[in-house]
Structure 1
Amino acid sequence: MINKFRLLSAEVLKIIGDAKAYWFNLIFGNLNIFFLFLGIFYGFHDSSFSSKDLFTMLLSLMIWYYGVHAIDLIALIIEEEKEEGTLEQIFMTQTNFTIVLMNRIIAQIIFDTIKGILVFSLCVITFKIPIDFIVAVNWWWTLLIFFTTLIGLYGIGYMVAGFALLYKRVSSVAGAFSNILLFFTGIIIEVERLPIIFQYLSKLLPLHWGMNVLQVLVNNNFNMSIVIKDYNFPILIANVTIWIIIGLSIFTAMKKKALNQGTINQY
């Protein structure tokens, strides 16, 4: 347990060090996210939106913000280690590679949360969501559903990372998933307005069901007993579980293949 805590601390300190070194880029990176959210808000919101509608929309955008990292983070870690020629050494260490990845994921989530709170706060002010509504939110249930959905997106991330073990660059794959999550899951365009093929695609992804569950939660004044009885909730749990199984299975198979071919460090 102590060693795992030290590993997590080391990953957090590494991210903090990078933030200090690249603070200028970090500031504008967060401003880019804010301006993106702002553009989506003014482009797609309706004057009839209630505080609940605005809050749900903002939550959906925040899941996408986290989800982008969820999908590309593990692949980027692998590409970086392959480029430096240290990936095989990590596989050969006593610490399980899955544990190493998990600590990096947790460290990134902590850092994303710090940045996300700032972006979220700016959006609350800009979207004119009443502060008393934000205070009244049941954050326990909201964050539980939020991060449950995010776990499913990490399943997709493991799948993308599996391809990163065999190929030099897979950023375009991660980018494709990121765009699909933003435009074809109901965040900014109602799923019913999409062509039928994209409606089916949307329902394959955890973000669609996570948004549905969050909407049920918000519309029913954060009454979790109603959420559990709603059909969207078990589908979300099943969808997240399936993506985790698919992601880890593909990652494990690709890792085995790369090790057998002796190409784990080729870049």
Structure 2
Amino acid sequence: MRNLKLLGAEIVKIMGDLKAYWFNYLFGNLNVFFLFLGIFYAFQKSNGTAIDTFNLLIGLMIWYYGVHAIDLIAIIIEEEAEEGTLEQIFVTRSSFIKVLFNRIMSQIIFDTIKGVFVFVLCVITFKIPFSFIKSINWLWTLIIFFLTLSGLYGIGYAVAGLSIIYKKTTAVAGTCSNLLLFFTGIIIDLDKLPKAFIYLSKVLPLHWGMNTLNDLIRNDFQLFKIVRSSNFIYLIISCLFWILFGVFIFKICEEKARIKGTLNQY
């Protein structure tokens, strides 16, 4: 019940921001749309099949969510530290992990509200047939989508841990975001990349998530074929690794800051 109240409070806060600054958010969404549109035409995906175009769009949407997944927690910590309230959150009755979880969930809900708008615009502009959109099993597609996203939040926890120590890590988050966009096969085929980036791509959950989604579509959404595939297994392994690694780095950095007494310094 307490978690629901915390989540409700975060949602009310975000919806209040949306109501107050709707004009800015509108143009923010249009900015994302024009970015997607530029990528779509720059990489000549307009000549691909409906499946290729849809895979590109899904990849861009995961990247859109993933940018927030990587930098959200770090931004929260930086803002709280700047206001001098970070240490107070760590000593509240609710654990800091729960507070972060509720903020993450509210941000996902908010991103979804904005993302649907961008997605519909892209479907129309990219000329993806409505019959193809109807044929998609959205339940399994979204399960794989958010499973992939969970691994990116693991990376976000690691970046957030660094922000406790180094205070400013937005450049690290920006580097991770660029790696996800350009070096995981979303817009550039992996066989066109140097081997070092191919190996790097295969460490990240987005690569395996995109491969799994592609397998799902090409196998007519027969999930029993997908769960036994190597792509899905590697996706699970990659997500678990990054979640555990991210939380581990976060806790190590938190403990180090507590020992040094720099938890609330900015």
Q: Which blocks of at least 5 consecutive residues in structure 2 are unaligned?
A: none
Match of 1:256 in 2: 255
Match of 2:234 in 1: 235
Asked whether the equivalents of residues 45 and 52 of structure 2 are also in contact (C-alpha less than 8 Å), the reply is: no
- 1:48 is displaced (CA, Å) by 4.2
Asked whether the equivalents of residues 56 and 218 of structure 1 are also in contact (C-alpha less than 8 Å), the reply is: no
Q: Which blocks of at least 5 consecutive residues in structure 1 are unaligned?
A: none
TM-score (norm 1): 0.98
Match of 1:119 in 2: 118
Cα distance in 1, alignment partners of residues 218 and 35 from structure 2: 26
Secondary structure of residue in 2 paired with 1:128: coil
Match of 1:10 in 2: 9
The question of 1:131 aligning with 2:130 is answered yes
TM-score (norm 2): 0.98
Query: Runs of at least 4 residues of structure 1 off by over 6 A?
Result: none
Map 1:73-222; keep pairs closer than 5 Å.
73-222=72-221
Q: C-alpha deviations, 1:81-132, integer Å up to 9, x for none?
A: 0011000001111111100000000000000001000000000000000111
Asked whether the equivalents of residues 157 and 247 of structure 1 are also in contact (C-alpha less than 8 Å), the reply is: yes
Percent identity between the two aligned chains: 61
The one-letter amino acid paired with 2:6 is L
- 1:47 is displaced (CA, Å) by 4.9
The one-letter amino acid paired with 1:205 is L
Asked whether the equivalents of residues 183 and 201 of structure 2 are also in contact (C-alpha less than 8 Å), the reply is: yes
Q: C-alpha deviations, 1:162-196, integer Å up to 9, x for none?
A: 00111121000000000000000001000111011
Cα distance in 2, alignment partners of residues 168 and 102 from structure 1: 21
The question of 1:61 aligning with 2:60 is answered yes
Asked whether the equivalents of residues 7 and 106 of structure 2 are also in contact (C-alpha less than 8 Å), the reply is: yes
After superposition, the CA RMSD in angstroms is 0.9
The one-letter amino acid paired with 1:251 is F
Q: C-alpha deviations, 1:30-51, integer Å up to 9, x for none?
A: 1110000000111113454111
Match of 1:49 in 2: 48
Q: C-alpha deviations, 1:9-62, integer Å up to 9, x for none?
A: 000011111222222221111111000000011111345411111111110000
